Structure 1
Amino acid sequence: MTSPAVPSDAPIQPTEGYAGDISPQQACAWLEAGEAVLVDVRTDAEREWVGQVPGAQPLAWKQWPGMAINPEFDKGIRALGADGRKLVLLCRSGVRSIAAAQRATELGLTAYNILEGFEGNPDAQAHRGLTGGWKFRGLPWRQN
């Protein structure tokens, strides 16, 4: 199976420590083509209250309260990447997913960070979801 073309405005950005940074649009294309597993590394509360991507696999990198590393992360990410498919990791703004992608890579998996995350960075009024992110890009999501 070949990867869909990367949008010209958002090529895969090489990085050190994991496979690279990709746009939300590229991650969605890989997910829809069955070429990658989307792993949502946000907390359970974030997924439930803010929204989630249909088909994403929930596996928190850190858990509330205290934002301690999830002791089940290594076991869970190994299971999700066991078939050798690419893993694309999503968090709120694309920061926690970098750390999670680095850990997945240390475990021998192919992991990418999704730039902008689910909600993107805050705007001048400290509001998220208005300047970037999965939701802002109009990609599939739902909210409970």
Structure 2
Amino acid sequence: MSQINAILQTAQQRAQAQQLPYSGALTPAEAHAVLQALPQARLVDVRSQAEWQFVGTVPGSAQIEWAHFPGMQPNPHFADQLKQQVDPQSVVLFLCRSGARSHNAAALAAQLGYGEAYNILEGFEGDKNADQHRNTVNGWKAAGLPWVQG
């Protein structure tokens, strides 16, 4: 458990250094370790349904769209869906493709009273490589963490 406390402390230090409006920022490997060790931790995948279907998902994750495809229109029901699916007392880890939408979701969760809201840096697919392709530089998939095809 001391390893998990150290991971969360590092994530919180990142948040303080960057003045993030939520608890912390985790690498994909750190997020996976937290999910494995803390039964109250929840992963919330905020990508679109199209991304879940065609790119893949993390087993056991809650899936709540931050924005709808096509057009990426904001989901007006995001806050209500989050409250219905995830206990505010949980450690909540937010994941998207690259870390941007999940940053926004973690910020909103913190405003809604989620005391342990974390963003997963790099996201599910990670940054683009020199050929403008994802899934090779960093991110959940590139780290070899559990995922399934949609």
TM-score (norm 1): 0.90
Work out whether 1:45 is the aligned partner of 2:50.
yes
Structure 1 portions without partners, runs of 5+? none
Aligned pair count?
Answer: 142
Instruction: Name the counterpart of 2:4.
Output: 4
Give 1:143 deviation, angstroms: 0.5
Distance in 1 between residues matched to 2:89 and 2:149, nearest whole Å: 30
Q: Extract structure 1 runs of 4+ deviating beyond 3 A.
A: none
- Structure 2 matches for 1:58-137, cutoff 5 A? 58-82=63-87, 84-109=89-114, 110-137=116-143
1:5 to 1:16, Cα distance in 2 relative to 1, 3 A: closer
TM-score (norm 2): 0.87
Higher helix share: 2
With 53-62 and 80-89 compared, the bigger mean Cα shift is at: 80-89
State the percentage of identical aligned residues: 43
Distance in 1 between residues matched to 2:88 and 2:117, nearest whole Å: 13
Structure 2 portions without partners, runs of 5+? none
Give 1:81 deviation, angstroms: 3.3
Distance in 2 between residues matched to 1:142 and 1:6, nearest whole Å: 29
Instruction: Name the counterpart of 1:22.
Output: 26
For 1:16, give the aligned amino acid.
L
| 1:42/1:90 contact within 8 Å kept | yes
